[in-house]
């Protein structure tokens, strides 16, 4: 009994220490609210390379690429563009994998925006939910919205 309890405690830490590669297939819904708007849905494949301290997210159809970790930094831009502040959060547990990135324009122009992406993978069901919104910093109106729901499988077949 003690050995079984020890295995239950140790195995999740081994699982979290190795790199995990997930292939996720689902539908992406994109909406733009600029100049009359635009909506479309399409099939999307995403590849997630999950490590203990970071995750690489690659949209195989869309060309989207994100690297998530736990950090905060400022990226200077050349005028007339505004400097941006980037905050990333990332966590892997035995039940979920969650990652987020918020990019905030540092200026106060009419075009200043806040862009936020949140990715959540349920490790028990393999379901991925991603929400990526861009809002106008002054009006707080949504400019663009991206939603992606998918089912993920380990590269070798099982989650």
* Cβ(152)–Cβ(128) below 8 Å: yes
pLDDT of residue 77: 81
CATH number at residue 44: 2.40.160
* Residue 32 covered by a domain: yes
Amino acid 109: pLDDT: 86
Residue 56 lies in a domain: yes
Counting the structural domains of the chain, the total is 1
Q: 8 in a domain, yes or no?
A: yes
Q: Which domain holds residue 62?
A: 2-154
Split at pLDDT 50, 70, 90, the class of 34 is: confident
Place 62 in a pLDDT band, splitting at 50, 70 and 90.
confident
Q: pTM for this one? A: 0.81
């Amino acid at each position: 009994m003690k050995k079984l309890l020890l295995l239950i405690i140790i195995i999740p830490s081994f699982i979290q220490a190795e790199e995990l590669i997930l292939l996720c297939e689902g539908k992406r819904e994109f909406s733009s609210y600029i100049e009359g708007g635009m909506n479309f849905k399409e099939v999307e494949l995403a590849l997630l390379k999950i490590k203990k301290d970071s995750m690489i997210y690659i949209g195989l159809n869309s060309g989207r690429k994100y690297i998530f970790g736990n950090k905060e930094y400022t990226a200077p831009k050349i005028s007339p563009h505004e400097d941006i502040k980037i905050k990333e959060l990332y966590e892997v547990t035995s039940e979920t994998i969650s990652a987020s990135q918020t990019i905030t324009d540092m200026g106060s122009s009419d075009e200043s925006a806040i862009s936020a992406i949140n990715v959540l993978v349920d490790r028990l069901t393999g379901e991925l939910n991603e929400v990526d919104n861009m809002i106008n910093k002054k009006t707080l109106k949504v400019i663009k919205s991206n939603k992606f729901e998918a089912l993920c499988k380990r590269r070798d077949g099982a989650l």
